Amino acid sequence: MDRVSPGLSHRLTLASASATRARLLEAAGIPVTIRPARLDEEAVKLSLSAEDASARDVADTLAEMKATKGAVPGLCLGCDQVLTHGHVLLSKPRDRSDAVTQLYGLRGKQHRLLSAAVIAEDGRPVWRHVAEVRMTMRPLSDAYVANYVERNWNEIRHAVGAYQLEAEGARLFDRVEGDYFAVLGLPLLQVIGFLADRGVVAT
């Protein structure tokens, strides 16, 4: 069932179940109807990886598929995040153990987070943007990583890389170079720019 933001007209459909993305749009006063796209993301990633697609192309393709799947009338926003560490693409952790393993691999090093957004109109892509953020994690202890995952599992289990920068995850990092909103899963300022140009939101 669709979920409509209270008090807002149905001007934009968000093809995502992400509560964070919905909150960002609603806080910015963007009219939104939430209709998550049903997509086997892991199967798509495996297929693209077999074709040697770049991390940027993977994020962009997944965002486009979400925006166009179902061909909803009007404007539909699809988003996706891909985390790349070296030549490895990381996905959402399968379980607590996988979350700990992912964080062990990232600590003390820099990784890249690609945050893609595609807007389709009547099922046809009309706008896209991929933001890249470089993130350097602190050299965390084994005990802190394990305890962090245990304390925050319910919040991070749907997060690529097994962390949330907007919460305790901020303590994991030495440096974040790039758009903060992109880390949260949505290049918000660029989306607002497109919607303003189209007259969907006033500026």
Angle between helices 19-27 and 188-197 (to 10 degrees): 50
Cβ proximity of 159 and 86 under 8 Å: no
Of residues 40, 60, 80, 122, which has the active-site annotation?
80
At residue 28, φ and ψ (nearest 5 deg) are: -85, 0
Tell me, yes or no, if 52 is annotated catalytic: no
Question: Could you identify the residue written with the tokens 């909103």?
Answer: 181
Cβ proximity of 163 and 138 under 8 Å: no
How far apart, in whole angstroms, are the C-alpha atoms of residue 24 and residue 53?
A: 30
Query: What is the radius of gyration, based on Cα positions, of the chain?
Result: 17
Active site (catalytic) residues: 80
